[in-house]
Structure 1
């Protein structure tokens, strides 16, 4: 656990999709560095409540907001709620995503629309809503995927399409918001040990073999990079795509 409790002191953060996995690790890390932290969740109410308790036990304010990332109005309302409740918004982390798997020529239009709504439209909606509240030093960090750079398995076409779109969104946000001192960056995690992609899963040995380090990441390792990007230590980093993938794409 990071011991720096001041780097983000006095700041307020919102994580879109923060009740478990990488999102929950980000919530804990930002709180440990001094931020008040809110996060959205869709249906994991009990884990969400437990995570708020963890944030508050560290002396920070925590807030869980039920919101489906496919619902643009709910996302905008979540952003406004955080800015109102905490009196400010400094950091937005966009983590929620769907992970469709299957041959791209068999994708139903309904699945395509739902995936784009959550994986592409939601980041756009959340980022543009947050931009109305962010000030000088504000940071938008979107979570992409290593497979946007190296797709080694079939059946990921729709997912890759959605995650590749975030590269363009990040560049556009960085250029349009840079004059206001707001930064936008994209993090591409590699294989990460979560309940959706466990390090002891049926294909984990194969997946590990694609990384240079030969292992899965812990969610906290992804969160550490996000905390850096959220802080003034990264005040000259914007429009960047940063791989935290154990060498998956080398």
Structure 2
């Protein structure tokens, strides 16, 4: 089993969104940190290979069904986990919908993304935030993006088919400030709320175009894109007892991109 430097032993962590490159890496690493991880998805069958990897590594990881746009579905999952385990110690909101490609797309695409990225975020954090607040402790980590912190650099995409859709910038920026709001609301009841904002993540199975990499890499201080597992440490830290006085912050994990 790969080593992981932070301990989440005894904690039940619910991660929303786990079928993508980053979601899979985070879920496995939280398991390697000795957490019991529940990965919640509208279609748990898409997580079967993730569960298989976790089983091979003897990790405590399982998949559950949920529709984050439905308050009833979220409450049902919350109640099930409380009945089974007696506590929920943290959540990671990594769910995202990206139906838009450009500013000229029909408004229906904009409205579609709102249901997951805005309403879904609100319902999920309220449903599970209230449960943790009732217990008097807990940690929420929302996965945003550096694209919620800075404007798009169109130069990066020249000569490629890559896009910078408007809904993504809107939702990730809104997530950061919503997290500050939630931190203020839940802080007096023992629940911390923070954000991790990844920079560009290299996908070895579907590499970004050379033209993009040639421009993007020098924009960072480390001269490269992130590997998916390099985001997990910040997430685990914010879920752990090492960060009990940390709330309302955004940690950019971007190789120095936003610091230049």
Q: Is the contact between residue 79 and residue 126 of structure 1 (CA under 8 Å) also seen in structure 2?
A: no
Report the 3-state secondary structure (helix = DSSP H, G, I; strand = E; otherwise coil) of the residue aligned with 1:203: helix
Report the 3-state secondary structure (helix = DSSP H, G, I; strand = E; otherwise coil) of the residue aligned with 1:133: helix
After TM superposition, give the deviation of residue 4 of structure 1 in Å: 4.4
Larger radius of gyration: 2
- Residue deviations 1:199-223 (CA, integer Å, cap 9, x gap): 4566333232322222111111101
The residue aligned with 2:160 is none
TM-score, scaled relative to structure 1: 0.88
1:148 aligns with 2:148: yes
Report the 3-state secondary structure (helix = DSSP H, G, I; strand = E; otherwise coil) of the residue aligned with 2:258: coil
The residue aligned with 1:139 is 139
1:110 aligns with 2:119: no
Q: Is the contact between residue 102 and residue 164 of structure 2 (CA under 8 Å) also seen in structure 1?
A: yes
> Any unmatched runs of 5+ in structure 2?
155-162
Which structure has more helix as a fraction of its residues? 2
Structure 1 segments (4+ residues) deviating >4 Å:
57-60, 199-202
**Structure-2 separation of matches of 1:247 and 1:197:** 24
**Structure-2 separation of matches of 1:55 and 1:177:** 32
The residue aligned with 2:60 is 61
Relative to structure 1, is the Cα distance of residues 196 and 234 closer, same or farther in structure 2, using a 3 angstrom cutoff? farther
> Any unmatched runs of 5+ in structure 1?
none
The residue aligned with 2:234 is 225
TM-score, scaled relative to structure 2: 0.85
Map of 1:155-194 to 2, 5 A cutoff?
Answer: 155-194=164-203
Relative to structure 1, is the Cα distance of residues 114 and 94 closer, same or farther in structure 2, using a 3 angstrom cutoff? same
After TM superposition, give the deviation of residue 8 of structure 1 in Å: 1.1
After TM superposition, give the deviation of residue 61 of structure 1 in Å: 3.1
